[in-house]
Amino acid sequence: MSKILKIENMEKYYGNKGNVTKAVDNISFDVEKTDFVAIMGASGSGKTTLLNCISTIDKVTSGHIYINDQDITKIKGNKLNKFRREELGFIFQDFNLLDTLTAYENIALALTIQKVNAKEIDRRVRDIAKKLEIEDVLNKYPYQVSGGQKQRIASARAIITNPKLVLADEPTGALDSKSARQLLESFEYLNKEMEATILMVTHDAFTASYAKRILFIKDGKIFNELIKGNSTRKEFFQKIIDVVTLLGGELNDVI
Amino acid sequence: MLFKLSVKNIKKSFKNYAIYFLTLVLGIAIFYMFNSLDAQETMLAVSSSTRQILKLMVNMLLVISVFIAVILGFLIVYANNFLIKRRKKEFGIYMTLGMGRRKISKILLIETILIGIVSLIVGLLIGIFGSQLMSIVTAKMFEADMTKFEFIFSSAATIKTIIYFGIMYLAVLFFNTITISKYKLIDLITAVRKNEKVKIKNTFLCIIVFLISISLLGWAYYTVTVNFNSLMGEDFEGLLPPVVCGCIGTFLFFWSMSGFVLKLVQSSKKIYLKNVNMFVLRQINAKINTTVFSMTVICLMLFVTICVLSSAISINNSFTESLKELTPVDINISKFRTINKKENTKEYSIREVLQLADFDMNNFKDITETSMYTVKDLTMEETLGSLKKEVLEKFPMVQFDSSEIIMKLSDYNKVAKLYGNEEFTLNNNEYVVTCDYENMKNIRNMALNNNQEIDIDGIKLSPKYKECKNGFIQISGSHINLGIIIVPDNIELKEKISIEDYLIANYNADTQEGKQKIEDIIIDNGFTDRIAALEEKGNINASTKIIVYQSSIGLSGMVTFIALYLGIIFLIASSAILALKELSESSDNRDRYSILRKIGADEKMINKALFMQIGIFFLIPLLLAVVHSIFGIQFALKILETIDSVGNLTKPIILTSGFIIIIYGGYFVATYLCSKNIIKD
């Protein structure tokens, strides 16, 4: 299997000489194609910084990040935008849908800025909407649909460009448990049927239990790694809880 | 503490206040510049006739300034309201922390006073320096002598500006307090989260309304241009329906457009789903619902600006052009001969009168002497003949009993040769009429076309041409020749009512300065006193090119001046409203553009989207205003034609476009840059 994401000795420091905070401290890991990885950690553990660096929004202090064998720490300016547009898909905690556009248009926008032709856009939007069961809300505005539907619209937007890697930042953070379950089932579908590679950041054990692999981060370092393997989701969930207990501290609160 | 907070607020929100501040400063500067005219007058060495016109203008500006102040007042209150609305959340936080409404009002009071004082100082400074620049323009317009340039400062204008703007700021304070007292805490805190409801309009209804608006506008256009003559009744009463229709049509046009254009573009997936087009269109559509009214106002204001500026400039141009034609020589002196003179009284010629008054005839060259006559039996009634009734119906003001002016052919041709006008030849039984006053020309042409014969002491003459010829004797600022009948030399004029002699000449000097010296002798009090001392003998009347120029240019200059004043203020007001409206929504836009950025649109695309969005908002009202103006200018020109002929339109339109590009375009660029700054972070 080919490696979609390869992180080598990545470090990210904040602050200046006298007062340095190591947000990410020498992390290395790989993500293979069609993998579904969750990154767990308490707030302040560095997981969002890690995601920001992978998503090219932030710059690393040292180390390398390869996406599809391309070192993104070496790309600059407009090429970076192009890379982000074409190789990555994003799902945010607060959806980030445009309130002035309908669901259809929100999804289509990701393709129009890639200059895909109109016929192709229409076909692909309807196709993905069918798969994510949001066909009947396509002509509605974000404020007319539920939170779960909003996040599925956002997922459709992220996946429609066929990105190499989908990055999700606390995707269930603003959802109730039922919507969260539906969304995560959609993620499973995208991962299994559409072969999307997903990297998800969360602090929620239940959300993480849908992933195939979990990396635990504490104080900017990888603390533990869990692989689902052949275990059921329930068994996997129990394993996660065990690690979280081991990690102790704040992460306990969020179970 | 409150003061500190206010100062910090201003500093922090300088980005948002920039356009507001710019508008205040511009408003103050222009207000000062136009009101300091009377101070400028003292420095310009203008002639007395020009000075009188300037006085008249200063008086008119007094009235217009009140009107301008009202417009600016509305603009400032409106602009300020925008800024308050933007800060709802901030006030909400103050209130949750326990600050009372009165204290919030106090913060706003301090802010308003601070901004007011700073804008007044900056505005007045710009105004004072700007007025130096403007006095150069004024001098050029009024052909004044600028050798005595000195720095001017008008304390009267300064005080006036401070008082007027002080009142405006008070109004702002008053409205602010009202706005604050109406807010509920819950609204203030959730202000940001509230989504503007996207009203979805019935497309079918929109299309119908669109068609109605087009037909209303079409009818208004038709009425003011093609159907122009039916409007020319008393007091322009007929003008009201097309104006009202134009306003309503404009409103409906924008209203229907907002629901209509989106659907239209959406129907073409190729355009709609291309780059950021979809996003831009939705941005505009989301706001156009709430901006239809202000769009209408802006469009109409732009329309008025374009019409006022271009017609004023074209009047000015045609005035200067026709002036050159109408004053081919430097001086005309006329004198009526006494007809039933007593025995032994000597009749003095113009030459003799001048010599009696110690005038050196060597000052003149190209001296030409001529005479005009009127006779007892030749009145307008005669020259119009059988057409009297018809003419009376169309032109009830024509005086039929006024005597016609007669000139002998050789007398006329002498002058025509000097003036460069057409010379004529006549057979014994022919006559020619020259006339350049448009309305009179039409009346006379009817009679000439009828081959109307005239009878002078029993000799019958018929017209050589079927129409009036252009020509005149008296130099003046406009076409005032009501008609001169030119008859063959051998006709004997027996029963003369009046004889008016003319002495026409150029000044014997080659330079403008030399001519001015001779002019000074003529208008010098000593000379005029000596003429007056001659009493009846010396009853002469002089008109000179320089005087004609000064009075005419002064008049057209005044019109242009006031038009510029109004036009610029209107332009600033409409651009400022648009700019502030765009900027006030920039916080919503910031979130939207950051989403665009997050899903991978690069800076170039984002800037393009922003540029398109703001550009379209500025362009739509301008485009409709330009279409309105195409018809409006034609109407204005037709009205002006009844006063004087209007020249070429190219130059006025270029100049007007220049003003619009500088002011409107300037606001557009400023809005774009400010918005770009706001969406950056």
Indicate whether B664 pLDDT > 90.
yes
Burial A236-253 (b: 16+ CB within 10 A, else e): bbebbeebbeebeeebee
| Residue in the structure block whose two tokens are 């901004």 | B115
pLDDT in tens, B442-455: 888 888 888 888 88
pLDDT at residue A254, as a whole number: 47
Question: Letter for the amino acid at A108?
Answer: A
pLDDT at residue B518, as a whole number: 84
Q: Are A118 and A104 in contact (CB under 8 A)?
A: no
User: Rounded to whole angstroms, how far apart are CA atoms A91 and A13?
Assistant: 25
Backbone angles phi, psi at A69, to 5 degrees: 70, 15
CB distance A118–B195 less than 8 Å? no
User: Rounded to whole angstroms, how far apart are CA atoms A48 and A88?
Assistant: 16
Which pair of tokens denotes residue B41? Answer: 């007058």
Band (pLDDT 50/70/90 cuts) for residue B49 is low
Percent of chain B whose pLDDT exceeds 70:
87
CB distance A109–B283 less than 8 Å? no
Residue A64: its H or E element:
strand A62-67
> Is B603 part of the contact surface with chain A (CB cutoff 8 Å)?
yes
pLDDT in tens, B106-143: 888 888 888 889 999 999 999 888 888 877 776 666 66
Closest Cβ opposite residue A112 in set B273, B283, B604 = B273
- Cβ contacts of B195 on chain A, cutoff 8 Å: 99, 143
Å from A243 to nearest chain B CA?
A: 33
pLDDT at residue B46, as a whole number: 56
User: Rounded to whole angstroms, how far apart are CA atoms B260 and B206?
Assistant: 6
CB distance B601–A113 less than 8 Å? yes
DSSP secondary structure string for all residues of A155-167: HHHHHTT--SEEE
pLDDT at residue A255, as a whole number: 44
Q: What sign for the dihedral angle of Cα B201, B204, B205, B208?
A: positive
Indicate whether B149 pLDDT > 60.
no
Given the DSSP bridges, would you call strands A198-202 and A36-40 parallel, antiparallel or unpaired? parallel
Indicate whether B665 pLDDT > 90.
yes
Task: Quote the radius of gyration of chain B (alpha carbons, Å).
Answer: 33
> Is B192 part of the contact surface with chain A (CB cutoff 8 Å)?
no
Question: Letter for the amino acid at B17?
Answer: Y
User: Rounded to whole angstroms, how far apart are CA atoms B230 and B470?
Assistant: 29
> Is B277 part of the contact surface with chain A (CB cutoff 8 Å)?
yes
Indicate whether B215 pLDDT > 80.
yes
Q: Please provide the average confidence, as pLDDT, over all residues in chain B.
A: 81
DSSP secondary structure string for all residues of B655-678: HHHHHHHHHHHHHHHHHHHHHHHH
Percent of chain B whose pLDDT exceeds 90:
9
Å from A75 to nearest chain B CA?
A: 14
Residue A93: its H or E element:
none
- Cβ contacts of A88 on chain B, cutoff 8 Å: 600
- What SS3 state is found at B274? coil
Indicate whether B396 pLDDT > 90.
no
- Cβ contacts of A121 on chain B, cutoff 8 Å: 269, 273
Q: What torsion do the CA atoms of B38, B43, B47, B48 make, to the nearest 10 degrees?
A: 40
In chain B, the residue whose alpha carbon lies closest to the alpha carbon of A57 is: B598
- Cβ contacts of B595 on chain A, cutoff 8 Å: 96-98
pLDDT at residue B148, as a whole number: 52
Question: Which residues are CB-contacts of B143 (< 8 A; sequence separation ≥ 6)?
Answer: B50, B549, B550, B553
In chain B, the residue whose alpha carbon lies closest to the alpha carbon of A155 is: B599
User: Rounded to whole angstroms, how far apart are CA atoms B239 and B246?
Assistant: 11
User: Rounded to whole angstroms, how far apart are CA atoms B169 and B118?
Assistant: 13
CATH code at A3-254? 3.40.50.300
- Cβ contacts of A75 on chain B, cutoff 8 Å: none
CB distance A100–B592 less than 8 Å? yes
Indicate whether B357 pLDDT > 60.
yes
pLDDT at residue B341, as a whole number: 60
Burial B589-611 (b: 16+ CB within 10 A, else e): beebbebbbebbbbeebbebbbe
Domains in chain B: boundaries: 1-195, 331-548
pLDDT in tens, B495-513: 788 888 888 888 888 887 8
Beta bridge partners of A218: A221
User: Rounded to whole angstroms, how far apart are CA atoms B85 and B67?
Assistant: 28
> Is B286 part of the contact surface with chain A (CB cutoff 8 Å)?
yes
**For testing contact with chain A, the best of B273, B284, B606, B679 (most A CBs within 10 A):** B273
Residue B634: its H or E element:
helix B603-641
pTM for the model: 0.77
CB pairs under 8 A between A and B: 81
Domains in chain A: boundaries: 3-254
- What's the CA angle centered on B321, arms B320 and B323, to 5 degrees? 65
Å from B594 to nearest chain A CA?
A: 9
CB distance B600–A85 less than 8 Å? yes
User: Rounded to whole angstroms, how far apart are CA atoms A120 and A89?
Assistant: 19
> Is B194 part of the contact surface with chain A (CB cutoff 8 Å)?
no
> Is B269 part of the contact surface with chain A (CB cutoff 8 Å)?
yes
Chain A residues within 8 Å of chain B (Cβ atoms):
78, 81-82, 84-86, 88, 90, 92, 96-101, 105, 108-115, 117-119, 121-122, 141, 143, 157
Instruction: Please count the residues of chain B.
Output: 681
Q: What torsion do the CA atoms of A64, A67, A70, A75 make, to the nearest 10 degrees?
A: -70
In chain B, the residue whose alpha carbon lies closest to the alpha carbon of A94 is: B595
Given the DSSP bridges, would you call strands B454-456 and B364-375 parallel, antiparallel or unpaired? unpaired
User: Rounded to whole angstroms, how far apart are CA atoms B663 and B180?
Assistant: 33
Closest Cβ opposite residue B195 in set A78, A82, A99 = A99
Closest Cβ opposite residue B600 in set A81, A105, A115 = A81
CB distance B600–A122 less than 8 Å? no
pLDDT at residue A107, as a whole number: 92
CB distance B275–A110 less than 8 Å? no
CA B339 to chain CA centroid, nearest Å: 48
Question: pLDDT tens track of chain A, all 255 residues?
Answer: 578 899 999 988 887 777 788 888 889 999 998 899 999 988 778 888 888 888 888 888 899 999 888 888 888 877 888 888 888 888 888 888 888 888 999 999 888 888 888 888 999 999 999 988 899 999 888 888 888 899 989 999 988 988 889 999 888 888 888 888 988 998 888 898 888 899 999 888 899 999 999 999 888 888 888 898 888 888 999 998 888 888 765 554 444
pLDDT at residue A100, as a whole number: 83
Task: Quote the radius of gyration of chain A (alpha carbons, Å).
Answer: 18
Mean pLDDT computed over B343-362:
79
pLDDT at residue A153, as a whole number: 92
- What's the CA angle centered on B403, arms B428 and B337, to 5 degrees? 90
Which residues of B540-642 form beta strands (DSSP E)? 540-544
User: Rounded to whole angstroms, how far apart are CA atoms B301 and B279?
Assistant: 29
CB distance B273–A98 less than 8 Å? no
**For testing contact with chain B, the best of A72, A99, A164 (most B CBs within 10 A):** A99
- Cβ contacts of A98 on chain B, cutoff 8 Å: 279, 282, 592, 595-596
- What SS3 state is found at B422? coil
CB distance A112–B274 less than 8 Å? yes
CB distance B600–A111 less than 8 Å? no
Å from B195 to nearest chain A CA?
A: 8
User: Rounded to whole angstroms, how far apart are CA atoms B542 and B645?
Assistant: 26
> Is B362 part of the contact surface with chain A (CB cutoff 8 Å)?
no
